[in-house]
Amino acid sequence: MKRMLLIWGLVAGLLAGACTVLEDRSVCPCYLTVDLTKVDKGVREWQMWLFTPEGELLYKDTVYRRSYSAPYIIQVPRNKKVQCLMWGNARSGTLVEETFSPATSLIKKEDVLADSLYFFADTISTWGEDSRMKVVPRKEFATVDIYMQGWADVEYEVRMVMVCGSKGFYVTGDFYPGEASTEMELFSLGDYYTQFRGRILRQSDTENILLSLKIRRRKMDGTLGEELVNKDIPIGKYLEENGYNIQNADLGDIRMEVDYSYTNLKIKAEDWEATYKIAEEI
pLDDT for the residue numbered 262: 54
Please state the pTM of the whole predicted model.
0.82
Using CA atoms, how far residue 223 sits from 83, 152, 156, 193, in Å, is 58, 14, 10, 21
Concatenating the DSSP letter of every residue in the chain gives -HHHHHHHHHHHHHHHHS---SS-GGGS-EEEEEE-TTS-TT--EEEEEEE-TT--EEEEEEEEGGGTTS-EEEEE-SS-EEEEEEEES--TTEEEESTT-TT-EEEEPTTSPPP--EEEEEEEE--SSEEEEE---EE-EEEEEEEEES-HHHHEEEEEEEEEEEEEEETTSPEEEEEEEEEPEEEEE-SSEEEEEEEEE--S-STT-EEEEEEEEEPTTS-EEEEEEEEEE-HHHHHHHTT--TT-SBPPPEEEEEE-SSSEEEEEETTEEEEEE-SS--
Q: How far apart are CA 239 and CA 8, in angstroms?
A: 72
Q: What is the mean pLDDT of each run of 10 residues along the chain (282 residues)?
A: 40 47 70 92 92 93 92 91 94 88 92 93 92 94 87 76 95 93 90 88 91 86 83 84 85 84 61 57 38
pLDDT for the residue numbered 24: 64
